[in-house]
Amino acid sequence: MLYGELKGLKFVRNNIRMKHLVGSPGTVSGLLLRLGQCLLAAGSIGIMVSASGFSNYTAFCYLIASMGLQVLWSSGLACLDIYALRIKRDLQNPVLVSLFVVGDWVRAHQQGLLFYIQKI
């Protein structure tokens, strides 16, 4: 098997390391990408709020809420990257990376759904 095999009732993992990619969790490039996401989401909130009468449109209110969640998600993962870099810990754990992927996937689809609601 690729990740391990069942021996008796225990799952034994092989010593397979994940590839280190640019922007992966726990790296400086990953930290810079998360900070960029956070700053761009905060900037989009600022631009939307500065528009006159933005609160009259429900889609803008939902989009601001979505961007607020993006700021929280990105800043939380940036803090985790800072922590990992300070203690020199590798975050290349398959379960942890899967959590990041699912979280980013949910955030992206939520924003896409809000874009679709704006079109209606």
Residue type, 107: R
Whether 30 maps to a domain, the answer reads yes
Task: Name the residue among 105, 107, 100 with its Cα closest to residue 18.
Answer: 100
The total domain count for the chain is 1
Q: Is residue 9 part of a domain?
A: no
Which residue range is the domain that position 78 belongs to? 20-119
Q: Is the pLDDT of residue 58 over 60?
A: yes
10 in any annotated domain: no
3 in Cβ contact with 16 (< 8 Å) = yes
- For residue 4, name the pLDDT band (cuts at 50, 70, 90): very low
Quick one: which of 105, 21, 96 has its CA closest to 113?
A: 105
111 located within any domain: yes
Q: Is residue 1 part of a domain?
A: no
Per the domain annotation, does 7 fall within a domain? Answer: no
pLDDT tens digits for range 59-73:
778 888 888 988 998
**From the CB of residue 73, how many other CB atoms can be counted at a distance below 10 Å?**
19
